[in-house]
Amino acid sequence: MNIQITDTCITLGEGVESFLLFEKPALPNYQNVTARPYISIYLGDGATIWSRLQVCTELLADFCHEDPYYGCYALLFRRLCPLLLSSSQPKNVVSYGPPADCGVYRVFQDFMTFLQEGSALTALSQSSYAFTALKESSCHAFLYCLDVFPSLPAVCDAISKVRPGGLVLLYTIKEPLPAGLNELCVHAEKDCFAHCTVYVFTIDESLSALALANGSENAILSRAEEVLKRANDLQNLVHAMLTGTPLPGDAYFIAVTILQQTEEILLSLYDYLEDDELPVNANALKECILNYYGGIRRQCELTSYREKLTQSSELFFAAVEREFQ
Amino acid sequence: MSNYKMCMIPAYPLENVQLLKDRVIFPYVCYRTFGESLRLVTKCTEDYPYLSYLEGVDLIPLPEDQPHMEAAVRYMSEHAEEIDLLFLFGARGEYMKLARTYKSLRPDGIIYLKLDTNIDWANAYPLHDSQFSIFLKDCDIISCEARRLQSFLYKKWQRPVEYIPNGVYYPLYPEAGSVCFEEKENMILTVGRLGTAQKNTLLLLYAYALAFLQLKEPWDLVMVGSVTPEFQSEYEEFCRRFPPLAPHIRLTGNITDKRTLHQYYKKAKIFALPSRGEGGSPNVFSEAAIFGCTVIATNVDAAPDMTDNGRVGRISLDTEDFDSFAKELAALCLNPDYLARNFHEMRSYMKEFFDYEHLAVRLQMLVQLQSLKRSHS
C-alpha cells in the first residue's frame, strides 16, 4: 500500500486500485473556518492547509508504511480533516489502539496544532480502565481500533465520550465484524480500502441513547441484576436442601447449572469486582452442592456435607450482597 | 448420555507404577462410575503388571517407531468418534495438537484436564502463547488439586477451575478398613525421598530433637524412603551429637512392598510432611490419613485442604522454622485425647472428601452439564 501525492490530489493505492483521500479545491469555500488558508490565491506567504496536508501524508508514509494499519490511518486522516477544519475551536481528539510510540500520533498532532494551537490528541493506554478517566461528551473525535478491544460496551462507552456532532471512527483490518457490533455499525458510514475498514459515526441524540443503553455501566448493572436474581433463586434452593424440604429429582442439577451461569457472569464482570474472590466462592458453593448430592446418591452420612454447604452458602450470599446491594 | 466412552492419553509413555496413581486411577474410577469403556493409549516402554488391578480397561499400545505424542495424535485422528470423554493430565504443550485434533473431529466431545500443578508450574504457563490459550479453551473441564491454587488460577485465567484433590481409591487399601487406634504406637512417620531439597527432611529431624525434650514419654521417628548421601551424613552427624535420641530414629530405606509400608501407617499416630513444596496433596498423605494418622505439615499449597484448615491436623506456617514445627509436633504428641479422637475424624474426613468414588460422582455431573451445554450450542 502506498500514498501518492500530486499537486491536486492525495490518493491511497494498492496495485491498480486507488482511493482518493484529499483533493485540492480549485476555489476557497466555506468548509474551512480555521485561521489558516486552505489554498494560496494571492497572499503567497506562509504554509497553506493543502501544503501541510501534503507534508503530513508524506510523513505518515515515512513513519507507518510497514504498519498493517497504515491504510486505516490514511482513511482516518481523511475523515478527521473536515472535522478539524469545521470550527476554530481547539479540538480534543482521543485515540485508543495504536501503541504510544506509533508515528501516526506525531502526524495527527502536528496537523492539529498547525490548524489550531491548543488542540490535543490523547493516546489512551490499552486498558479497560482507560475510558473511565474521560468525561462524557468531552471529545470532538474518538479514534478506536476495534481489533484491540472488539467489545460492544467499550465502543458504546467511546461513543458516550464524544460531543454531539463529533465523530467516532472505528477501524479494523479484520473481517468479519465481531458479534454484537453488527447492529451498531448499521448506523455508520463505511470506508473500505484493501484490508482496511473505517466505520464513521456522527454523534446525534439517537446514537447517544443507543450507546447509553449498551454501555458498560448498563451492561454491568444488568449483569449484576442477573447475579442477584440467580443468587435469590439459589438461596431458596439451598435453604430447601438444608431443611430437608422434598425437592424434585433434578433440583441439584438445576442448582449447579445456576451456579455455573453465575460463575460465568461473575467472570465476565471480573475487571470491575471489588471482591475478586467472588467467582471462586461461587465455585466453592457449587462444589458443596455436588458433594451433598454425591453424599445423598451414595447414601452417606450427610452431616459434614451439610455443614460445609451451610458455611459456603452463607459466605457466598453475604459476598454477593456486599458486592451488589 | 449416561455411559461415556472414555480415553486417557498421557503426555509421555506410561510407567507401570503410574497405573495406580491419580493420572490413571481417577479415570478408572470414573469409568467404573459412569463409563461404558476406558482405553489407555500409550507407547509401551515396560510391562504393566498393575493392569491386573484395573478390570475392564483396554491398554492400546501406540506404534513403537513413532514419537509418543505424534502417534497419539494419529490415533486420535482415526478414533475420535469412539471417544466421548478424553482425560488429559497436566497442562502441557505436548497436548495442544492432540486436544485440537480431538475437538475438531468431536466438537461435542468433552476434554477433562487434571492439572497436576503446583505454584511454580502455575506461574510458568505461557498464557501469552495463542496456541496454549486455544488449548485451555479446548479443555471443557479443568481441575487443580489445591484450593489455594484454584483461587490463584481463577485470577490468572479468569475461567472456571474446579477443585478435585488427589484422592484415594479404597479398594486398593483393604487393610485400611481394619485399622484401630489402640494398635497404634508413639510413632512419627514420614515417607518420601529423604534429604531432597523439596522434601526438607532436615527440618523434621531437628524439630523432632527440639520436641523430644518436651515429651513425657518417648516417641520414635521413622523415616521411610530412599536417602540422599548428604542426608545420610547429616543423620549420622545428628546421631553422634544427640546419642540419647539415636535409638528412637530409624531410616528404613526405600520400601516397595505396599503391605510393609501399610504396616507403618497402621502403627504411626502422626504423619509428618515437612516439604518445601507439593502440588496437590501427595499420595503418601492420603495413605497415611486413611490409616488414621494425624498429619502435621508445613504450609504447602494443599496443607489447608489436607487438614481441613487445621481441624484434623496441624500446619506449621514457615517451611524453615524449626521451632514452630517442633512446637506443633510436641503439642500433638502431648495430646493423646486429640490423637485418639482425630483418628476417627481424619478417616471420616478422607472418606467424605477424598474418596475417588465420591469425586467421580462430582465429575460425572460436571461432565453431564458440559454435554448438555455442547448439545445446546
Q: Is the pLDDT of residue A168 over 60?
A: yes
State percent of chain A over pLDDT 90. Answer: 82
Joined grid coordinates for residue B128: 501469552
pLDDT at A46: 73
| Residue span of the structural domain in which B204 resides | 170-353
Report the alpha-carbon distance of residue B211 to residue B332 in Å, rounded: 10
pLDDT class for A42, splitting at 50, 70, 90?
Answer: low
Q: What is the CATH number of the domain that holds B341?
A: 3.40.50.2000
Q: Is the pLDDT of residue A131 over 60?
A: yes
Strand partners, A168: A142, A201
Q: Kindly report the nearest CA distance between residue A153 and chain B, in angstroms.
A: 19
Say if B250 is an interface residue toward chain A (CB within 8 Å).
no
φ/ψ (deg, to 5) at B197: -60, -40
Chain A residue numbers touching B369 (CB-CB < 8 A): 253, 256-257, 260
Closest residue by Cα to residue B342 from B292, B303, B296, B300? B292
Q: DSSP secondary structure string, A246-298?
A: ---TTHHHHHHHHHHHHHHHHHHTGGG-S-TTHHHHHHHHHHHHHHHHHHHHT
pLDDT at B6: 98
The verdict on a CB contact (< 8 Å) between B160 and A267 is yes
Closest residue by Cα to residue B162 from B377, B370, B374? B370
Q: Which residues contact B15 (CB under 8 A, 6 or more apart)?
A: B45, B46
Q: Which residues contact A146 (CB under 8 A, 6 or more apart)?
A: A155, A170, A171, A172, A174, A177, A178, A181
Chain A residue numbers touching B349 (CB-CB < 8 A): 304
pLDDT at A35: 85
ipTM of the complex: 0.91
Residues in chain B: 377
List pLDDT tens digits, range A75-130: 999 999 999 999 999 999 999 999 889 999 999 999 999 999 999 999 999 887 78
pLDDT at B224: 97
Considering the domain architecture, whether residues B326 and B180 belong to the same structural domain is answered as: yes
Of residues A253, A287, A300, nearest to B163 (C-beta): A287
Consecutive H or E run containing B187: strand B187-191
Strands A17-23 and A9-14: antiparallel
Of residues A256, A264, A270, nearest to B365 (C-beta): A256
Say if A293 is an interface residue toward chain B (CB within 8 Å).
yes
Chain B residue numbers touching A298 (CB-CB < 8 A): 357-358, 361
The verdict on a CB contact (< 8 Å) between A287 and B362 is yes
Considering the domain architecture, whether residues B349 and B362 belong to the same structural domain is answered as: no
pLDDT class for A194, splitting at 50, 70, 90?
Answer: very high
DSSP, collapsed to helix, strand or coil, labels residue A22 as: strand
Residues in chain A: 325
Chain A residue numbers touching B159 (CB-CB < 8 A): 267
Considering the domain architecture, whether residues B162 and B306 belong to the same structural domain is answered as: no
φ/ψ (deg, to 5) at A150: -80, 70
Report the alpha-carbon distance of residue B123 to residue B259 in Å, rounded: 38
Q: Please give the distance of CA A285 from its chain centroid, rounded to a whole number.
A: 34
pLDDT at B366: 96
Strands A189-193 and A196-202: antiparallel
CA-angle at A294, arms to A293 and A299, nearest 5°: 100
Considering the domain architecture, whether residues B269 and B291 belong to the same structural domain is answered as: yes
Joined grid coordinates for residue A82: 473536515
Question: Residues in chain B with pLDDT < 70?
Answer: 1-2, 377
Considering the domain architecture, whether residues B129 and B242 belong to the same structural domain is answered as: no
The verdict on a CB contact (< 8 Å) between B160 and A304 is no
ω into B274 cis (within 30 of 0): no
Q: Are B115 and B143 in contact (CB under 8 A)?
A: yes
| Domains in chain B, number | 2
Considering the domain architecture, whether residues B185 and B139 belong to the same structural domain is answered as: no
Considering the domain architecture, whether residues B140 and B220 belong to the same structural domain is answered as: no
The verdict on a CB contact (< 8 Å) between B357 and A295 is no
The verdict on a CB contact (< 8 Å) between A287 and B369 is no
Considering the domain architecture, whether residues B115 and B192 belong to the same structural domain is answered as: no
Say if B148 is an interface residue toward chain A (CB within 8 Å).
no
Closest residue by Cα to residue B351 from A286, A300, A242? A300
pLDDT class for A132, splitting at 50, 70, 90?
Answer: confident
pLDDT at B284: 92
pLDDT at B2: 61
State percent of chain A over pLDDT 70. Answer: 98
pLDDT at A31: 85
Chain B residue numbers touching A294 (CB-CB < 8 A): 358, 361-362
pTM of the model: 0.84
Chain A residue numbers touching B348 (CB-CB < 8 A): 304
Closest residue by Cα to residue A294 from B203, B362, B152? B362
Instruction: Say which amino acid occupies B329.
Output: L
Chain A residue numbers touching B352 (CB-CB < 8 A): 291, 295, 300, 304-305
Q: Is the pLDDT of residue A62 over 60?
A: yes
Q: Kindly report the nearest CA distance between residue B200 and chain A, in angstroms.
A: 31
Q: Which residues contact A214 (CB under 8 A, 6 or more apart)?
A: A152, A153, A156, A184
Considering the domain architecture, whether residues B320 and B349 belong to the same structural domain is answered as: yes
Strands A162-172 and A196-202: antiparallel
The domains found in chain A, sorted by start residue, are 2-214 (3.40.50), 217-324 (1.20.120)
The verdict on a CB contact (< 8 Å) between B361 and A253 is no
pLDDT class for A271, splitting at 50, 70, 90?
Answer: confident
Say if A311 is an interface residue toward chain B (CB within 8 Å).
no
Alpha helices in chain B (DSSP H): 22-34, 68-79, 96-105, 119-124, 130-138, 147-157, 201-212, 229-241, 258-267, 283-290, 303-306, 322-333, 336-353, 356-376
Angle between helix axes A70-85 and A103-115 (nearest 10 degrees) is 10
Report the alpha-carbon distance of residue B154 to residue A204 in Å, rounded: 41
The verdict on a CB contact (< 8 Å) between A298 and B160 is no
Q: Are B22 and B116 in contact (CB under 8 A)?
A: yes
Joined grid coordinates for residue B150: 484454584
Burial of A278: CB neighbours in 10 Å, binned 0-12, 13-18, 19+: buried
pLDDT class for A4, splitting at 50, 70, 90?
Answer: very high
Q: Are B140 and B121 in contact (CB under 8 A)?
A: no
Say if A304 is an interface residue toward chain B (CB within 8 Å).
yes
List pLDDT tens digits, range B246-296: 999 999 999 989 899 999 999 999 999 999 988 778 889 999 999 999 999
The verdict on a CB contact (< 8 Å) between A283 and B161 is yes
pLDDT at A322: 96
Q: DSSP secondary structure string, A96-129?
A: ESS-TT-HHHHHHHHHHHHHSTT-EEEEEPSSTT
Considering the domain architecture, whether residues B265 and B196 belong to the same structural domain is answered as: yes
pLDDT at A80: 97
pLDDT at B358: 97
The verdict on a CB contact (< 8 Å) between B369 and A293 is no
Selected residue of A275, A278, A283, A305 to mutate for chain B interface (largest B Cβ count, 10 A):
A283
Of residues B150, B158, B362, nearest to A267 (C-beta): B158
Say if A253 is an interface residue toward chain B (CB within 8 Å).
yes
Q: Is the pLDDT of residue A283 over 90?
A: yes
Q: Which residues contact B176 (CB under 8 A, 6 or more apart)?
A: B170, B262, B290, B291
Chain A residue numbers touching B353 (CB-CB < 8 A): 291, 304
**Side-chain half-sphere CA neighbours of B133 within 13 A:** 7
Size of the A and B interface in Cβ pairs below 8 Å: 62
Instruction: Say which amino acid occupies B229.
Output: P
Terminal Cα distance for chain A, rounded: 54
Strand partners, A167: A141, A202
Burial of A100: CB neighbours in 10 Å, binned 0-12, 13-18, 19+: exposed
Of residues B361, B362, B365, nearest to A253 (C-beta): B365
Q: Are B57 and B39 in contact (CB under 8 A)?
A: yes
φ/ψ (deg, to 5) at A24: -75, 125
CA-angle at A189, arms to A185 and A193, nearest 5°: 100
Q: DSSP secondary structure string, B306-361?
A: HTTTTTSEEEES-TT-HHHHHHHHHHHHT-HHHHHHHHHHHHHHHHHHTBHHHHHH
Considering the domain architecture, whether residues B185 and B314 belong to the same structural domain is answered as: yes
The three-state (H, E, C) secondary structure of A151-186, written as one string: CHHHHHHHHHCEEEEEEEEEEECCCCCCCCCHHHHC
Q: Which residue has the cell 447449572?
A: A257
Q: Are B120 and B277 in contact (CB under 8 A)?
A: yes
The verdict on a CB contact (< 8 Å) between B163 and A304 is no
Of residues A263, A280, A298, nearest to B150 (C-beta): A280
Considering the domain architecture, whether residues B331 and B220 belong to the same structural domain is answered as: yes
Count other Cβ atoms within 10 Å, centred on residue B242: 16
Report the alpha-carbon distance of residue B220 to residue B250 in Å, rounded: 8
CA-angle at B55, arms to B54 and B60, nearest 5°: 70
pLDDT at A121: 96
Chain B residue closest in CA terms to A277 = B151
Joined grid coordinates for residue A268: 465476565
